[in-house]
Chains A and B, each alone.
Chain A
Amino acid sequence: MNWDRRAFVKFAVGAVVGLHASPLIPKLMDDSAIWTQNWSWVPNPEDGGLAFANTVNPATGTGVRVRLIKGRMMGERIIRVEGNPEHPLSQGGVVPADASAVQLLYNDEVRVAAPLVRDKKTGMYREITWQQALDMVGGKLAELAKAGKAHTVVALGDEADSIHGQILSRFMAAYGSPNLAFAPRADDTLALAAWALTGQTDVGFDLMNASYVVSFGTPLLEGFGAPVAVRKAFVEWKKSKGALVQVEPRVSVTASQAGTFLACKPGTEALVALGMAAVMAEQGLADESATSAYGYAEFKAALAKDYNPKKVAELSGVPADKIVAVAKAFAKSPKAVAVCGPGPGGDPGRLADFMAVMALNGLKGNLGKPGGVAARKPLGLKALGEPANVDKPRLDGGKKGMKPANALALAQAALAGQPYKAGMVLVAGGNPAYAGPQAGVMSEFLSSAPFVVAITPLLDETAALADLVLPGTTFLEGWTDCRSSYGSPVSSYGLARPLVKPYAQAKTVGDALLALAAKLGGAVAGALPFASVEEALKAQTAPLGDLAELAKKSYFVQDKPAYGPFAFKTPSGKLEFHSQNLAALTGKNSDGAALPHWEKPAALAHGDGHALAMAAVPSLRSATGFQPLTPHMLKVLDGNTLRHKDELVVEINPKTAAEMHLAEDSMIVVTSAVGSVDARVHLYAGAAPGMVFMPTGLGHGAVSDAYTLGKGGNFYRVAEAAADSLSGLPTWGLTRVTVTKRG
């Protein structure tokens, strides 16, 4: 056959037909379909055996369960943190910070892998070994001690009660420095308030069994205590048709869920409590146990004079008839409780305010009763032992042994060199450069201190100012524990154990301190006779049984609050409206100073030309205090909080905004006496007029992860912390600010 045109055409046609008849085309299509799934940069998570383990998230107090996958290549890894359905308080629920905890564990870009030395000039980090790091810190400490300057070492911790906090306390005391402060907590204020009135320090609110709850600015549904446990109680309590009254200046989630919302002027929540107390006292609605209490007559007279509903209405903006109605309902309800609590933004609160609310509970006579205020049963743990007293003046002027110290005052005194400058700073947990108190001062303090050591799992703002960064752990990879959450009526203990190998060279704070103590030897090593945190925990939890068993279960929770006669530990042995304890502490006994009373918040007292009052927006979607904001939490921040790329959005009442010629999305600067931040306006009808509400947890800079970097502004840079007149603790519930347009 000739290879002519005809043959060619025949061949071509035959080839096409043959090709279609062969399986080649379907095969190629199949292959290309598979090929379209080849995206080498999309991760392909390794499969393996699935296992579960219980633990507890100390940051939220939630009992959690962890899913582990054991694969051949990647080894054992945690893929998920979910709720532990067996945990009696959290019953399987979680909050965003729990559910996204894995994101802080597995992120090589922000984890500290090895001890790092920071060059002060260039800011560059250099990796060293743990041995070198311990030599470096140990050498400095020994040097300072030799020069008689041991007391100039300042330590900042996160949780005083945790095993790491206790080790830190013992370490500092044995080393010879009184300058140790932990992150301020409302637990301390509540303990002081309870101590002032009852002599007890460990109390909680039996919300679950209360039929009438009045909350004075407490963000019950936005981060109060152990948030999951509170929600479980809230739902139970809602089922039994409990009533909730919310007193605060903003329509919060709690206020929206409340049957009655008493919108008060900023800082007057406790004033309303006293107004209610006045109604109860005047109308004879106070419980018998109250009328026979120490100082009742004096209190009643003070209430009638200064806190009658008319006067309270004038100052607080809450109509007098509403105060009377709520007071009566509160008094008549069989199980009513008044709650005070952490202010938004982690504010520890003012002692006078807490005392006013506790006094209201006292008038109601609900102490020790179901649905009232409960004294928590001791856990029966064997504490590591009271740290030795250090006979040196504390930087913040606090009295010997008086706990807790005010971190802000320590920093301010050290900065001023009054009475002396800091010789070295040890940050063992927390992120004071970001969360303060008063981030600006803390940052300045850390930058100016001669040598700063930070033990942290993340390259955070504090790490960015430290001379030596030691790799810390998260709760998923090291031993740690936590105590009863704020406001909980039952005592609980949570224990977290390492579920996966620690990241790179990370060590827990306690283990790092124990290693340092061993290095220092002498009294310090003697005060900490443990080879590891695990051993210290073994000693501490011995009364609860075997540590390994307890760790596997991960919690110990008392089954119900301690009901029954309330054991008053006051000098009078009774409930004291005139607090002799407080009088002894403050040295003021006259003019009603020892009575529950209301003081105008310092932030409102001085105008300084700042027109508006600023407060934080409480939310479980954002992070509070030093807790980091995880990428997934950033994702669920509501649309209004993250409406503009990288910009902080603050809430302002539409009327207030109109008066200031501001509209939705207006670009503004919020300035306080201590700092300023750029923001955009969101008109929120639920914001009290004359106020600015700012979300927390944003505005991370320096070395945070790529997602949160530069998003929004930092509340703690603007919030002004002031020492409470009674407790001496820093509070930052309200700040005077001016709002000016920019751009």
Chain B
Amino acid sequence: MLPIVFEWHWDIGHFVFMGLFYAALTVIGLGLVVAFRSTMKDLNSGKDPHDLGHH
């Protein structure tokens, strides 16, 4: 899974597979970070959750 594990091959299969995998993880991670940061920002600016227009 990581380049330090000896099955790691620097070939096209690994690039595509691991590339997509880490891309997906990054997107999910970044999404969470964004949601988290926005939450912190809103909290610091003292916004009331009920003002956010609940669906």
Please say whether chains A and B are actual partners in one complex: yes
Name A's B-contacting residues (CB within 8 A): 6, 9, 26
| Residue from B4, B40, B44 within 8 A of A26 (CB atoms) | B4
| B4 contacts A9, C-beta separation under 8 Å | no
Nearest to A5 among chain B residues (CB) is B43
| 5 nearest A-B residue pairs (beta carbon) | A26-B4, A9-B40, A6-B40, A26-B2, A6-B44
B2-53 residues with Cβ-Cβ distance < 8 A to A are 2, 4, 40, 44
* A586 vs B40: C-alpha distance when bound (angstroms): 114
Which residues of chain A come closer than 8 Å to B40, judged between CB atoms? 6, 9
Which residues of chain B come closer than 8 Å to A6, judged between CB atoms? 40, 44
Say how far B32's CB is from chain A's closest CB, in angstroms. Answer: 11
* A9 vs B44: C-alpha distance when bound (angstroms): 13
Say how far A229's CB is from chain B's closest CB, in angstroms. Answer: 50
* A461 vs B39: C-alpha distance when bound (angstroms): 81
Say how far B21's CB is from chain A's closest CB, in angstroms. Answer: 17
Some 5 contacts from A to B, beta carbons below 8 A apart, are A6-B40, A6-B44, A9-B40, A26-B2, A26-B4
Say how far A397's CB is from chain B's closest CB, in angstroms. Answer: 78
Which residues of chain A come closer than 8 Å to B44, judged between CB atoms? 6
Say how far B17's CB is from chain A's closest CB, in angstroms. Answer: 20
Say how far B1's CB is from chain A's closest CB, in angstroms. Answer: 10
Say how far B39's CB is from chain A's closest CB, in angstroms. Answer: 10
Nearest to B44 among chain A residues (CB) is A6
Name B's A-contacting residues (CB within 8 A): 2, 4, 40, 44
Which residues of chain A come closer than 8 Å to B2, judged between CB atoms? 26
Say how far A13's CB is from chain B's closest CB, in angstroms. Answer: 9
* A26 vs B4: C-alpha distance when bound (angstroms): 9
Nearest to A26 among chain B residues (CB) is B4
Say how far B40's CB is from chain A's closest CB, in angstroms. Answer: 7
Nearest to B39 among chain A residues (CB) is A9
* A258 vs B2: C-alpha distance when bound (angstroms): 61
Which residues of chain A come closer than 8 Å to B4, judged between CB atoms? 26
* A325 vs B27: C-alpha distance when bound (angstroms): 86
* A6 vs B2: C-alpha distance when bound (angstroms): 33
Nearest to B5 among chain A residues (CB) is A26
Which residues of chain B come closer than 8 Å to A9, judged between CB atoms? 40
* A9 vs B40: C-alpha distance when bound (angstroms): 10
* A6 vs B4: C-alpha distance when bound (angstroms): 35
* A313 vs B15: C-alpha distance when bound (angstroms): 78
* A26 vs B2: C-alpha distance when bound (angstroms): 10
Nearest to A9 among chain B residues (CB) is B40
Which residues of chain B come closer than 8 Å to A26, judged between CB atoms? 2, 4
* A26 vs B44: C-alpha distance when bound (angstroms): 37
* A93 vs B36: C-alpha distance when bound (angstroms): 73
Say how far A233's CB is from chain B's closest CB, in angstroms. Answer: 51
Say how far B13's CB is from chain A's closest CB, in angstroms. Answer: 23
* A37 vs B37: C-alpha distance when bound (angstroms): 43
* A737 vs B2: C-alpha distance when bound (angstroms): 71
Nearest to B2 among chain A residues (CB) is A26
Say how far A563's CB is from chain B's closest CB, in angstroms. Answer: 65
Say how far B54's CB is from chain A's closest CB, in angstroms. Answer: 23
* A6 vs B40: C-alpha distance when bound (angstroms): 8
* A9 vs B41: C-alpha distance when bound (angstroms): 13
Say how far A626's CB is from chain B's closest CB, in angstroms. Answer: 54
Say how far A122's CB is from chain B's closest CB, in angstroms. Answer: 61
Say how far B3's CB is from chain A's closest CB, in angstroms. Answer: 11
Nearest to B43 among chain A residues (CB) is A5
* A6 vs B44: C-alpha distance when bound (angstroms): 9
* A6 vs B36: C-alpha distance when bound (angstroms): 12
* A304 vs B41: C-alpha distance when bound (angstroms): 119
Nearest to A23 among chain B residues (CB) is B4
Say how far A416's CB is from chain B's closest CB, in angstroms. Answer: 77
* A9 vs B2: C-alpha distance when bound (angstroms): 28
* A6 vs B43: C-alpha distance when bound (angstroms): 10
Say how far B26's CB is from chain A's closest CB, in angstroms. Answer: 14
* A306 vs B4: C-alpha distance when bound (angstroms): 88
Say how far B42's CB is from chain A's closest CB, in angstroms. Answer: 13
Say how far B4's CB is from chain A's closest CB, in angstroms. Answer: 7
Say how far A7's CB is from chain B's closest CB, in angstroms. Answer: 12
Say how far A599's CB is from chain B's closest CB, in angstroms. Answer: 74
* A190 vs B3: C-alpha distance when bound (angstroms): 74
* A26 vs B1: C-alpha distance when bound (angstroms): 11
* A9 vs B37: C-alpha distance when bound (angstroms): 11
Say how far A545's CB is from chain B's closest CB, in angstroms. Answer: 58
* A26 vs B40: C-alpha distance when bound (angstroms): 32
Say how far A31's CB is from chain B's closest CB, in angstroms. Answer: 15
Nearest to A25 among chain B residues (CB) is B2
Say how far A181's CB is from chain B's closest CB, in angstroms. Answer: 67
Nearest to B4 among chain A residues (CB) is A26
* A9 vs B39: C-alpha distance when bound (angstroms): 12
* A26 vs B3: C-alpha distance when bound (angstroms): 12
* A88 vs B44: C-alpha distance when bound (angstroms): 94
* A9 vs B43: C-alpha distance when bound (angstroms): 13
Say how far A14's CB is from chain B's closest CB, in angstroms. Answer: 14
Say how far A30's CB is from chain B's closest CB, in angstroms. Answer: 10
* A9 vs B4: C-alpha distance when bound (angstroms): 31
Say how far B2's CB is from chain A's closest CB, in angstroms. Answer: 8
Say how far A5's CB is from chain B's closest CB, in angstroms. Answer: 8
Say how far A20's CB is from chain B's closest CB, in angstroms. Answer: 11
* A354 vs B40: C-alpha distance when bound (angstroms): 103
Say how far B52's CB is from chain A's closest CB, in angstroms. Answer: 19
